[in-house]
Amino acid sequence: MAILGHPDVRRMLLSMKAQTEAMRALAYYTAAAMDRARHDPDGDARARQAALVDFLTPVVKAWPTDLACEIASTGIQVHGGMGFIEETGAAQHFRDARITPIYEGTNGIQARDLVGRKVLREGGQTARALIAAMRGDAAALGCAADADLGAIHARVERGIAAFEAATGWLLEAGASDPRLAAAAAAPYLRLVGTVAGGWLLARGAARAKARLGDGADPFLAAKPVTARFYAENVMPQADALLAAITEGAGTVLALADDQF
């Protein structure tokens, strides 16, 4: 039997596929916002899109590069012992990925930029606009009479709620103690990426369903399955990240310097 026949191997491969597609979708979404920020004939719309680009840029840099290391590591795991040595080339992908969370501004700096300059400085305005856009798409999913889209909708809604709650907490914490907000910056960035990626996969799933009709296009048919896997297996991380933000930031600052 090929190793693809093992459920755990299928789980690993689908996690790699779903997260890669989610990251790619967010990169494309941000690139489209860059175009609208430059070329939209409406000046107010250009300003809103420019703010969205500013908000998402640290997410697009940090979230995918963190995941690149995790996904490349999973690729080694799929290959087993052969993945650890040079026979397959899988280990080279991990070595190549490992530099990416470091250069162009370490991912901790990217997270600090997201929270300090893009959330606290503008009072969460762009984050809330993005949440509103997500909610509008999620509402359409909820109205669809489709089992896949209904399951995706439930998880996307929970992810959006976690994004909104985390943003509200950051605004309150940042006003009272900016160090608390900084301590929660890394999990907040990951939460934003995780939720945004799931939202965009959900949009893609809905459009793939609409285009499939009675056809059997394998590419389109894979989109709802991939989006549902992400919704049920990756999106639940948003709840855990919310807890790390709202409950765990204080302990980040709790040890004295000489206790490390």
Q: Give the end-to-end CA distance of the chain in Å, rounded to a whole number.
A: 49
Distance CA 148, CA 151 (A): 5
Active site residue 104: yes
Instruction: Give the integer Cα–Cα distance in Å for 180 and 169.
Output: 10
Burial 197-211 (b: 16+ CB within 10 A, else e): bbbbbbbbbbebbee
Place of tokens 């709790």: 254
Q: SS in 3 state form for 150-219?
A: HHHHHHHHHHHHHHHHHHHHHHHHHHHCHHHHHHCHHHHHHHHHHHHHHHHHHHHHHHHHHHHCCCCCHH
How many Cα neighbours within 13 Å face the side chain of 222?
A: 6
Among residues 86, 87, 104, 232, the one annotated as catalytic is 104
Active-site positions?
104
